[in-house]
Amino acid sequence: MLEEASCPCGSEKSYAQCCGVFHQGGGASTPELLMRSRYTAFVKGNIRYLQETWHPSTRPPLDLDGNPEWVKLQILESWQRNTKGYVHFRAFYQEQGVLQMMEEKSKFVYENGCWFYVEPENLKL
């Protein structure tokens, strides 16, 4: 069971020392750190951060009206080379009391000194 002070992304650190750093404007240095901080932004309803870290070419109009109650994040694999990266993850959430899971392999790109989320990759490679 997680202590209240630990970061929602599942790291051992506190929010302030983990995803909070990125939410305050410190750029995430790897796709995995960005993925974690974006998950935590969903948990905290931080739309501004989600928009800022979503690549302009794929960014949808964003609202969190249907944002479920997020339970935990599980990183299965992350990978980066030069300006491209991928993170394969599972995110668990509660909907009407039922535990649900989404699984995605997300594509990230490094541009102008920052990592951006681009889009999900098809899992059937």
Which chain residues interact with Zn ion by CB under 5 A?
7, 9, 11, 18-19, 36
Find the shortest distance in angstroms from Cβ 43 to Zn ion: 10
Instruction: Give the number of other Cβ atoms within 10 Å of residue 8's Cβ.
Output: 21
Tell me the CA distances in angstroms from 102 to 15, 49, 98, 105, one per residue in order: 23, 21, 13, 10
- CA nearest neighbour of 89 among 80, 72, 76, 99: 76
Q: Is 59 helix (H, G, I), strand (E, B) or coil?
A: coil
Q: How far is the CB of 56 from Zn ion (least distance, A)?
A: 25
Please report how close the Cβ of residue 92 comes to Zn ion at its closest, in angstroms: 16
